Structure 1
């Protein structure tokens, strides 16, 4: 199609930048010509969310691997979670290690699990600043390097020290991608598919977890680790082909480059001029030289930060990471008649399917209703699990309801995957203006990983001191509070522009 002055205009005619005369920057203005394509938005989101796949493999890696590289000794669920002496009713005898040179004690196992959360907490800290300095794309590329180095360290580890190093390093990358991937997606997506794209991070996280559950049951831990290495390599190659986000480019005054990025993402015939103006209006509404303190002095930013952190708190204090890290042990401790590896795979499959379902529902049902549904059903499931363990630990015969833990766990994973799994990550990218988004997302992710560490490290202690019943009842209480909080303090963000969301957060 030949571009002529009477039907097309440059997105940046007023710019003196020579790039503003690039033919790709001309927008079709005739009726029926302007249109957008969503294909590349999906491709870009899927590529950056390979970081979520890598994070999922790292999270679930301990489940099949620790039994393979542990000292042959009777260990119960509490001893796996902490260095305490447990009293769970069903001891677990771990299998002999495949590599005689690498045999971890219980204390070493807890650090192999916990160091990821510590690394993720520290990795999230500088990522927002780095993303604002060098861009979202280059940050993703830089933070992918520790992923690659970590899996190399883990794959060829001959001592616990190398595992510690690899797990800490992989935590840094995991925390970084929890910041940069949702930020990248929120800045490239059209409003109509922002919710769907926003759920891809959690969806691909569950794909990574399922991969570990399935493959980990069939291969040795070293082979599994080498296979995990290919995910960050694919991520690095994919990020080389993606553009920087239009929001970041416009923040840096690169208007023509921002328009070219939009053309790549939204299609050749999108109205980039109007889209650029919308982004510019959001940037103008924000303070260009926003500081860290603006997160707390600006009412809208402060309210957004409170909501984001509380959603992450409720996400983790549902007990989800205790379930992921110790899925096999939980089922064995509960006396399930099914093989623990099969139980893990069932949970993983359900998690993937229901997170995919959430991505299809998110723009129809909305964020708030899915959060309320999620927390309500999880409260019931956790309360029933608590009652089951109460009966079991009090000596009652529960063999006739040995299926109950599996049922509750599957329902728990279903409702978590529909609501509190993906939606906090999605809303984290929606609640902030571009001037404070990087810092706010970093703080939110740090809060998330702090909760991960606390829950993971304290899970065994809670079971020892409180008992399994009180532990699950505690998590049930947290989700009951979450239901009340979302019902009273959170409004629907589906279909709302950034300006409309900020109007609500600011109380106008």
Structure 2
């Protein structure tokens, strides 16, 4: 692989290897797989606990709190993660996040009362929220411009891997073994990520130039000269020296304000799409379609669709671009939700829907495919691409807090919306939101494909945003 630089107006090609960029990102994403197992744990375990022969019988209300307390913990975790990453570094902070995950799984293993499960879910939520900030931040800071899209898409891919694995294991393992395997995922993360390099961007911000050079030598390969790249990082660090702006101060800068509107807007639309509500409704939709597929298998099939299409997204995002994928994703999701709403409108109106039995199943699959190639992975990438080094931590924290707040709100409000508005109007409401997301993407979102932060900054500032060669000195 080659990287082109300009020295005294002459093109110079440097050989840059991508292997360690992928290895470090995959290792970091093992924690994200742990996030996926934590999210999906309730899907298979709560029905076991709610059954009449359960060793720890829970009510429907207790089950809803076991599910939703993770989101509350995630909000708290996102709040403190930015300052922790700036003080301790990206690598140490990520390694430290294994603690709340392991504490949670230990509590789940020994729980004899429901309150311990409440505590366990809140504690793991802290790790989940912080991991959603630190994972994308680390990945965006170790990757080259040419790999940022693919590396960024690994976040969503490994999240779906964790969910898929949890659905399968939860259906074949007992309560204790399931929790042990989930804990082993975190142990595997610790074993592999311990050997990975620290973020060179953070090292430069701490005046550790030699360590940054060493980290880049690992990430780019021995034949790559990292000095110019470190020089560019150092210029950016010096320009922001001593500046650790609050979110209010960050919002006062016109460029940062545009970046926040774009990033926060996509985080809002990701959850306001109703994706969690649709996943929650999966079993009912499969039943409504007349399918004889068991609910457990239905959940596995939906997770498999997410997994496969998240892998596709990782392969195409650096070729197709962020904006086109997001516009296709949100518009197709809107059409799918309209179709779902139409089915339930006909069904609830007493009409014969036997000829439309295929529609809910197809709509659901198309919805998840569209989500997985665009609105699922790209908002997490944008969080790492739109902000400068000094604003990334605080802005990412707020973005993730917004995301998990909406997870909590949408999950809690969906049953009420379904009861008060009807399932048809509920899905149509989400469809309107997705149509708005398409318009928002077209009018507001900058294209970040193949661009350095400076080029993105220039575009947000009102420049042309055209890619320019990087000038270097010998």
Structure 1 length as normaliser, TM-score? 0.86
Where in structure 2 are the equivalents of 1:399-438 lying within 5 Å? 399-438=354-393
Query: For structure 1, which runs of at least 5 residues remain unmatched after alignment?
Result: 1-30, 72-95
CA drift at 1:484: 0.6
- Pick from 453, 457, 472: which aligns with 2:427? 472
Partner Cα distance (2:76, 2:278) in 1: 23
- Are positions 1:212 and 2:192 aligned together? no
Task: Tell me the equivalent position of 2:98.
Answer: 144
Q: How far, CA to CA, are the matches of 1:466 and 1:334 in structure 2?
A: 21
Runs (4 or more) in structure 1 with deviation over 4 Å come to none
> Following TM superposition, by how much is the alpha carbon of 1:282 offset from its aligned partner in structure 2, in angstroms?
2.6
Q: Distance in 2 between matches of 1:447 and 1:155?
A: 31
Deviation at 1:229, TM superposition (A): 0.9
1:184 has 2:138 as partner: yes
TM-aligned CA distance change 1:146 to 1:239, over 3 Å: same
Shift of 1:225: 1.8
Q: CA deviation at 1:402?
A: 2.3
Aligned partner (choices 324, 338, 350) of residue 383 of structure 1: 338
Q: Does 1:156 align with 2:110?
A: yes
1:265 is the counterpart of 2:219: yes
Post-superposition CA distance 1:242-294 (Å, at most 9, x none): 12110001001111111011111111121100111121233244454232133
Q: Decide whether the 8 Å contact of 1:124 with 1:442 is kept in 2.
A: yes
Question: Secondary structure, in 3 states, of the residue corresponding to 1:199?
Answer: helix
SS class of match (2:449): coil
Are 1:323 and 2:303 matched, yes or no? no
Give 1:248's aligned residue: 202
Q: CA deviation at 1:344?
A: 1.3
Q: How big is the shift at 1:67?
A: 1.0
- Equivalence map 1:91-102=2 (5 Å): 96-97=52-53, 99-100=54-55, 102=56
Task: Note if 1:301 corresponds to 2:281.
Answer: no
2:41 match:
61
Q: Partners of 1:398 and 1:216 in 2: how far apart?
A: 34
Task: Quote the offset at 1:325 in angstroms.
Answer: 4.2
Q: Which residue of 2 aligns with 1:132?
A: 86
2:20 paired residue number: 40
Aligned pairs, number: 452
Residue of structure 2 in register with 1:499 after alignment: 454
Give the structure 1 partner of residue 469 of structure 2: none
Q: Secondary structure at the match of 1:337?
A: coil
Per the alignment, residue 291 of structure 1 pairs with: 245
Note the residue ranges of structure 2 that are not aligned, 5 or more in a row.
1-10, 464-474
Mapped partners of 2:125, 2:281: distance in 1: 18
Change (3 A) 1:317 1:259: same
Q: Are the equivalent residues in 2 in contact too, given 1:128–1:179 (CA < 8 A)? A: yes
Q: Give the drift of 1:330.
A: 4.3
Q: Distance in 2 between matches of 1:306 and 1:252?
A: 29
Alignment partner of 1:103 is 2:83: no
Secondary structure, counterpart of 1:61 in structure 2: helix
Give the conservation status (yes or no) of the 8 Å contact 1:294–1:301.
no
Separation in 2, partners of 1:320, 1:167? 21
SS in 2 for 1:52: helix
Q: Residue in 2 aligned with 1:351?
A: 306
Task: Please say if residues 53 and 207 of structure 1, whose CA atoms lie closer than 8 Å, have aligned partners that are also in contact.
Answer: yes
Normalization by structure 2: what TM-score?
Answer: 0.92
Counterpart position of 1:78? none
CA contact (8 A) 1:336 1:405 kept: no
| CA contact 1:156–1:222 (8 Å) conserved in 2 | no
Q: What RMSD in Å do the two structures reach over aligned CA positions?
A: 1.6
Aligned partners of 1:172, 1:163: CA distance in 2, in Å?
14
Q: Which whole-Å CA distance do the structure 2 matches of 1:401 and 1:479 have between them?
A: 24
Identify if the C-alpha distance between structure 1 residues 438 and 193 changes in structure 2 by more than 3 Å, giving closer, same or farther: same
Distance 1:56 1:430 in 2: 23
Structure 1 distance, partners of 2:240, 2:278, is 41
Q: Match for residue 4 of structure 2?
A: none
Query: Residues 167 and 299 of structure 2 are in contact (CA less than 8 Å); yes or no, is this contact kept in structure 1?
Result: yes
Contact 1:33 1:269 in 2 (8 A): no
Q: Distance in 2 between matches of 1:287 and 1:240?
A: 29
Name 1:120's counterpart in structure 2: 74
2:351 equivalent in structure 1: 396
The answer to whether the Cα contact below 8 Å between 1:288 and 1:435 also exists between their aligned partners in 2 is: no
Alignment match of 2:408 (pick from 426, 450, 453): 453
Secondary structure of 2:387's counterpart equals coil
For residues 293-325 of structure 1, what are the alpha-carbon distances to aligned partners after superposition, in whole Å with 9 as ceiling and x for unaligned?
331111111111111111011000111122334
Deviations 1:9-29 (A, max 9, x none): xxxxxxxxxxxxxxxxxxxxx
484-493 or 365-374, which deviates more = 484-493
In 2, the alpha carbon distance for the partners of 1:43 and 1:467 equals 47
2:32 paired residue among 36, 39, 52 = 52
Give the distance between the partners of 1:295 and 1:287, measured in 2 at CA: 15
Relative to 1, partners in 2 of residues 1:332 and 1:112: Cα closer, same or farther, differing over 3 Å?
Answer: farther
Q: Please give the alpha-carbon distance, in whole angstroms, between the structure 2 residues aligned to 1:133 and 1:376.
A: 41
Question: Alpha-carbon deviations, 1:428-471, whole Å to 9, x = none?
Answer: 10000001110010010001001111111111111111111111
